[in-house]
Chain A
Amino acid sequence: MNIVFINASPKGKNSNSCYFLELLQNSLTKDTPNDIIIKQYTITSPYSEADFYTDIANSQAIVFAFPLYVDSLPSNVLSFLRKMEEVLTSSPCSATVYGIVNCGFYEGKQNELGIEILKNWCSRVSLPFGQAIGIGSGEMLGSLRTMPLEEGPNKNLGIAIQKFSHTIFQQTAGETIYVIPSYFPRFFFIKAANHFWVKRAQKNNLKKRDLYRKFAIPKNEK
């Protein structure tokens, strides 16, 4: 089985999207390493378009991974999909499309529109849509890479990746799987995330109050 992974994160190889693809690759190749050939492309890194479209044409599954930006896809991913649409209208491809969409908000459900947009793209290019995972708390789960997937807040993610890889391997379709961190209530997530921003700002020699900075808006401009 030939699978193309498309890491469509604007952050490229240092992204959480890339990490989630890595987890999927581990799951897909765990039991049947010789049956699966995965080609991975990162849209922000240089690659051969000829090789890319050859791999797409020869694939049975395409897996997109990207973060949610302003409730939908980052602008560079939209440009990429539009370009792919142009090529795919004249080049044969029958792969099933899968998606991993992650957002910084707690609820995986907030990725729903990003997934819908990917499905709408599939309709435009006449490719079947298989399944998606909508990962909430993406920044947090992406920072727990050293914790086993069977444990702690990672548990839901581990189960989702396992189910998702099964769907891909069977080349079937399934309902969207939405992920929130396990054993990690929302109020605690908000507390931890708000603390995270302050810590991150401190590395730039900023205090918490600096993060509330505003531009003065003259009254006549409003």
Chain B
Amino acid sequence: MKLIIHDLPEDMAKTLFSHHSSDYKIISGCADITPCTGCFGCWVKSPAKCCIPDKYHNMGKFLASSEEFIIISRCIYGCYSPEVKVLLDRSISYLLPFFKVRNGMVHHKLRYKTSFSLTAYFYGEDLTSTEISTAKQLVQANACNLNVSNCETIFLKNPLELGGKFR
């Protein structure tokens, strides 16, 4: 499976994903999604599953089912948009609560033995060089924490530049 999370307006998402194959699972963060409250329930109450009872409680499962993870987000302050970030925050059940040292620092142990590739498409007209640098480092940090097999960060002026990419 190829998992896409994005913050695109509905009409743009329709244009970009209208001919996608059944391989893709596409999740928009633009709905009114309850943010993660840091309750750790997905680790110690209902392990592997977020405790917020909505259709985003299985984000960890979707990640575990993916061979490719694609993020399409407006870049704000060198970070993902809140609409995309809410989906990432709700995904931490993908990992275990337990710690271990990886790449010289403490990280969470992996719940699943599988891994996926990560491509982050950041878009925005007037990104500063500092924001671009922060965003690149952020994707690298996410890749380390999520045990990503390979990752790429791509910057676009306009998400419509992705036209025809997801078929």
B38 to chain A, nearest CB (A): 5
Cβ-neighbour of A221 out of B65, B79, B141, B142 (below 8 A): B65
B88 to chain A, nearest CB (A): 5
B100 in the interface, Cβ–Cβ < 8 Å? yes
**On chain B, which size bracket covers the interface?**
35 or more
Counted as pairs of residues, one from A and one from B, with CB atoms less than 8 Å apart, the total is 156
Contact of A78 among B1, B49, B81, B134 (CB under 8 A): B81
Residues in A188-205 with C-beta less than 8 Å from chain B: 189-190, 193-194, 197, 200-201, 203-204
Choice from A75, A116, A201 contacting B134 with Cβ under 8 Å: A116
Instruction: Check if A78 sits within 8 Å of B82, measured CB to CB.
Output: yes
Which A residues are CB-close (under 8 A) to B89?
A: 69-70, 74-75
Distance from A52 Cβ to chain B, minimum over Cβ atoms (Å): 19
CA distance A73 to B85 in the complex (A): 8
Which residues of chain A (108-133) have a CB below 8 Å from chain B? Answer: 109-110, 113, 116-121, 123-124
Are B114 and A71 in touch, CB under 8 angstroms?
Answer: no
Q: Min CB distance, A184 to chain B, in Å?
A: 13
Q: Is A217 an interface residue (CB 8 A)?
A: yes
**B contact residues around A76 at 8 Å (CB):** 35, 82
Indicate if the CB atoms of B98 and A117 lie closer than 8 Å: no
What 1/0 flags go to A165-199 for Cβ under 8 Å of B? 00000000000000000000010011001100100
Question: A211 contacts B44, CB within 8 Å?
Answer: yes
**Does any Cβ of B come within 8 Å of A214's Cβ?**
yes
Question: What 1/0 mask marks residues of chain B from 106 to 142 whose CB sits below 8 Å from any chain A CB?
Answer: 1100011010000000000000101100100110011
Number of interface residues of A (CB under 8 A): 51
Q: Quick one: which of B36, B48, B98, B130 has the most chain A CB within 10 A? A: B98
Given contacts A69-B38, A120-B77, A120-B134, are A74 and B85 in contact (CB under 8 A)?
yes
Overall SS of chain B's interface:
mixed
Contact of A186 among B58, B61, B65, B101 (CB under 8 A): B101
A30 contacts chain B at the CB level, 8 A cutoff = no
- Asked whether, in the complex, the Cβ of B131 is within 8 Å of the Cβ of A10, the reply is no
What are the residues of chain A within 8 A of B98 when measuring CB–CB?
193-194, 197, 211
A210 interface residue (CB < 8 Å to B): yes
- A70 proximity list for chain B (CB < 8 A): 85, 88-89, 91-92, 142, 145
- Name the contact of B106 in the complex, choosing from A10, A106, A117, A123 (C-beta under 8 A): A106
Chain A residues within 8 Å of B, Cβ to Cβ: 9-11, 15, 67, 69-76, 78-79, 81-82, 105-107, 109-110, 113, 116-121, 123-124, 186, 189-190, 193-194, 197, 200-201, 203-204, 206, 210-215, 217, 221-222
4 extra interface residue pairs, beta carbon distance < 8 Å, beyond A121-B77, A190-B99, A222-B114: A10-B38, A105-B105, A113-B141, A189-B106
